[in-house]
Amino acid sequence: MAENMKNRRIIKHSRFMTTFSRVFETPTAKIGGILLGIIVVMCVFAPLFCKYTANDIDMTSALQGPSLQHFCGTDNLGRDQWARLLYGGRYSLALGIIGSLFAAIGGTGLGVIAGYFGGQAENLIMRFCDIWTAIPGTLLCIVVSTALGPGFFNTIVALSIGAIPNGARMTRGQILAERTKEYLEAAEAMNCSKASIMFRHLLPNVISPTIVGTTMGIGATITQAATLSYIGLGVQPPTPEWGAMLSAGKNYVTSFPHLLLFPGIAIGLATLAINLMGDGLRDALDPKLRK
């Protein structure tokens, strides 16, 4: 028994390493992985890459352009923009990752239930998702964020709610294709519980598209979080977040464009890196795309 468990762990580990290596077989995935790794490392270890903190105020240095002392210039309060970009990346990346993860969990759960049980449960969930998706995603985020109020955790909730229906539809479609397979009949013959069949047998066989979709959605979620912060419904000042930095600099767009340029570049680079990684992950998990 112990030997069998050990062999299963080895097989699972080898599959993970094989999939992980496939992700970086394409040049685009390598570029995305390196770029994303650099961004994450610099944001996590921000104190090592800048000599200021995010909220160090120096009015004598207010609204300065890029220089050797301030790589990305300073804002209207004399705060170093480079430091605020690095510290703000923690919040922006966290919003994108956590928001996408929560949406994936909610959407996957609903999709599995709808696809496995079918009937009235499926009709109820899918019709609810139809109503849900009839509202534009950004508008729904704005409505939820307005109702809950601004803030980091409320923004995560707003971002998650808007993305759940797409995940539910994707998972349901995968479940419908798997529902008639023989291994499910075997599991039912062994008196496995419905929860065990859904989440232990069915879900692992349909999770690949969800993983890819969630990864690809992180970039869009980061952009959406920046949108909420830009209009004052997301992370609030003085917390450094890329969207909030764009909002703070919009009044100086003609005279001090660096206040919008560098946060915009940060959002673009992070989104590009994540999308490139998502392409590599899709190629690694989809057997039709493997060479």
Lowest mean pLDDT among 34-43, 179-188, 227-236: 179-188
Residue 239 predicted with pLDDT over 90? no
What residue spans of 149-237 are helical by DSSP H?
152-178, 182-189, 194-196, 203-230
* Predicted confidence band of residue 2 (pLDDT cuts 50, 70, 90): very low
The pLDDT of residue 21 is 65
Q: What is the mean pLDDT of residues 33-56?
A: 91
- DSSP letters, 97-112, are HHHHHHHHHHHHHHHH
Asked if the bond preceding 237 is cis, omega within 30° of 0, the reply is no
Q: How far apart are CA 226 and CA 211, in angstroms?
A: 23
Return the CATH number of 89-291, one of 3.40.50.2030, 1.10.1200.10, 1.10.3720.10, 1.10.443.10: 1.10.3720.10
Q: How many CB atoms lie within 10 A of CB 183?
A: 12
Residue 217 predicted with pLDDT over 90? no
Q: What is the pLDDT of residues 91-124, one digit of tens each?
A: 999 999 999 999 999 999 898 888 888 888 889 9
The pLDDT of residue 131 is 87
Residue 71 predicted with pLDDT over 70? yes
Look up the pTM and report it: 0.84
Q: What is the mean pLDDT of residues 229-238?
A: 86
Residue 57 predicted with pLDDT over 60? yes
Residue 40 predicted with pLDDT over 90? yes
Residues 58-66: contacts with CB under 8 Å, at least 24 apart: 63/252, 63/255, 63/256, 65/256, 65/258, 66/258
**Hey, where are the domains in the chain?**
89-291
CA-based radius of gyration for the chain: 23
Residue 39 predicted with pLDDT over 90? yes
Is 159:141 a contact under the CB 8 Å cutoff? yes
The pLDDT of residue 189 is 78
Share of the chain above pLDDT 70, in %: 89
The pLDDT of residue 10 is 45
Residue 260 predicted with pLDDT over 50? yes
3-class state of residue 149 by DSSP: coil
Lowest mean pLDDT among 58-67, 139-148, 177-186, 278-287: 278-287
